[in-house]
Amino acid sequence: MSVLAALLLVVVLLALLVVAASCRRFGTWRRKGIPHPRPLPLFGNCIDAVLLRTSFYEALDKIYRQFPGQPYIGFYGGSSPMLLVCGSEAVKDITVKDFHVFTDHKLSPDSRYDTLFSKFLFCLLGDQWKSIRARQTPAFSSGRLKAMFPTVKATADRLCEVIDKRLDKDGAVGINGLCSRYGIDVIAAVAFGIEARALDSDEPPPFMKAVSAAFRFGPLEALITLALLFSSPVYHVLRAPIIKEWRAVVLRGLLREATELREREPPRKDVFDTLLSLKKDGVPQVVFEAQVMSMQVAGSETSSTAVLAILWELALNQDCQDRLREELREAVAKQGAVTYELLHDAEYLDMVFKEAVRLWPVMPWLDRVASEDYVLPGTNAVIEKGTVIIIPIFSFHRDPERFDDPDTFKPERWAPENVAKIDKMSYLPFGNGPRACIGFRFANMSVKSAVASVVLKYRIGMAEGTPKSHAELELSPLSFIISPHKELPLRFERL
Ligand SMILES: *[C@@H]1O[C@H](CO)[C@@H](O)[C@H](O)[C@H]1NC(C)=O
């Protein structure tokens, strides 16, 4: 036998071995009696996601739709058994009652490769998460939100001025970039302690570059995320960060300046003050810095995507837009101005917000990892410690069994007389339980503030190139969050 043939044989044998190893755990869900699709060697049930042909949430949605009404659906992420938790009781148990078992996200990178992201509140584990989360929670009390409102409102007004300035001769402007800039400025002001002035600048300033699109992934980041979630050895081969280090370097410099400035000023009762108190309490500098960056990165792109989704839906649904404007005008006539209370009480505005984040949940799925063996509620099946479970939020929100006519924008489904029909665990735009989005009350205020300012000043309509349907909206296929990656033009007519 020639050397070449021997070599070939070795390669083929090794390849067979890898393939066989990848199938080793494929009997897991059959043995436990959990419904599951048939897996493929190496890829499990996620071949389209691994080959970057679809986003992960779309891959999950395909699996979800094969087993309507099942409380649990097994699948394989690469070679690892993973579980979709779909039944309402099960979702509630995992996020609330048995939270002590499911405290941690699997999407928590190795701190050796991901110095910044691994210390984000989202990624912190166990007791460290608990203590840091508890110290940040007071930043979002009603009193604090009210104290921050004037800053938010001023930024929303600034957004309108900038729309005005940038309208082209047809009255159109790309709104994706402007919403991002709004999100960055709002969070920078209250959580980072600086005036980012992203709305004011034509060229993106360094701060904006460091923050924006941090979760808009390229192929490498998409693969790292999947490898991490699938507990694949590939993760340790890639050894690369999900959030690139240069972002942290830029932000760290600016943060040092902001900290020095603020330490000389009286307290402002904003999020940054609360974060500074972490530092005073002796939390390590890197953890403090990561919390500020985490608020900024996680808070800005998510809220700006919600503003974008609402403005676009209002352009498509003129009757909703008219009704919203009428509600806001009446309230302003009574109260004299757009106030915190006005936004808080505006019923239709809340319905529009709820419906937009139902269709476009920025975080389309949630992951948790079992910290011990766990009996799945309502079954005899036990999942082993280390099993990753996924709550497919996007799929819930678009499931016709959970929402009538689920792909249609219908704020009326959230009217007080209809809302009782909606199962609480079928609607999770901000997650659920102790690990729900810490900023959801702030987002509620800052998203509504932007929408109210714009709707009171402009009639929003379609422009050339505005996507006319959900199918035409191009979402970033590689990110784990839902975000449109192209400019989205809308027409604005001054009222
Ligand atoms: C926003 O806040 C209001 C007032 O607290 C609340 O009633 C509403 O449910 C919140 N909306 C969402 C989508 O969380």
Tell me the pLDDT tens digit for each residue of 373-416: 999 999 999 999 999 999 999 999 999 999 999 999 999 999 99
Sign of CA dihedral 260, 261, 262, 265: positive
Comparing CA positions, the residue from 12, 38, 61, 29 lying closest to residue 364 is 61
Compute CA distances 456 → 6, 160, 168, 311, 352, whole Å.
76, 10, 20, 12, 15
Q: Is 354 in the pocket of ligand 1 (CB under 6 A)?
A: yes
Q: Whose CA is nearest to atom 3 of ligand 1?
A: 344
Q: Is 350 in the pocket of ligand 1 (CB under 6 A)?
A: yes
d(CA 162, CA 167): 9
344 CA: nearest ligand 1 atom: 4
pLDDT value at 208 more than 90: no
Residue 430 structure tokens: 């901000």
Residue 63 structure tokens: 């699996």
**Predicted local distance difference test score (pLDDT) of residue 414:** 98
**Predicted local distance difference test score (pLDDT) of residue 204:** 82
DSSP string, 256-275: HHHHHHHHTSPP--SHHHHH
| Phi, psi of 484, deg, nearest 5 | -70, 130
**Predicted local distance difference test score (pLDDT) of residue 209:** 82
Strand partners, 459: 493
Residue 351 near residue 414, CB atoms below 8 Å: yes
Q: Whose CA is nearest to atom 14 of ligand 1?
A: 444
Residue 60, SS3 per DSSP: helix
Query: How much distance in Å is there from the Cα of 142 to the middle of ligand 1?
Result: 12
Region 321-334 average pLDDT: 98
**Predicted local distance difference test score (pLDDT) of residue 226:** 95
pLDDT band at 43 (very low <50, low <70, confident <90, very high): very high
**Predicted local distance difference test score (pLDDT) of residue 2:** 86
Comparing CA positions, the residue from 87, 147, 168, 61 lying closest to residue 378 is 87
Q: Is 444 in the pocket of ligand 1 (CB under 6 A)?
A: yes
**Predicted local distance difference test score (pLDDT) of residue 35:** 98
- pTM, 2 dp: 0.94
345 CA: nearest ligand 1 atom: 4
pLDDT tens per residue, range 427-472:
999 999 999 999 999 999 999 999 999 999 999 999 999 999 888 8
Residue 379 structure tokens: 């079954």
Q: Whose CA is nearest to atom 8 of ligand 1?
A: 350
Query: How much distance in Å is there from the Cα of 343 to the middle of ligand 1?
Result: 10
Q: Is 344 in the pocket of ligand 1 (CB under 6 A)?
A: yes
Percent of the chain whose pLDDT exceeds 70: 100
Q: Which of 345, 427, 444 to mutate to test the pocket of ligand 1 (most atoms within 8 A of CB)?
A: 444
pLDDT band at 23 (very low <50, low <70, confident <90, very high): very high
Q: Whose CA is nearest to atom 9 of ligand 1?
A: 350
pLDDT tens per residue, range 5-15:
999 999 999 99
Give the chain's mean pLDDT: 93
d(CA 143, CA 155): 20
Half-sphere exposure of 115 (CA within 13 A, CB side): 11
Per-residue H/E/C for 117-130? HHHCCCCCCHHHHH
Q: Is 146 in the pocket of ligand 1 (CB under 6 A)?
A: no
Region 166-175 average pLDDT: 92
- Of 137-146, 159-168, 238-247, the poorest mean pLDDT is in 238-247
Is 86 annotated for ligand binding? no
Half-sphere exposure of 15 (CA within 13 A, CB side): 6
Residue with tokens 């009652």: 97
**Predicted local distance difference test score (pLDDT) of residue 246:** 83
- With b meaning 16 or more CB within 10 Å and e meaning fewer, what string describes 296-312? bbbbbbbbbbbbbbbbb
Q: Is 353 in the pocket of ligand 1 (CB under 6 A)?
A: yes
444 CA: nearest ligand 1 atom: 1
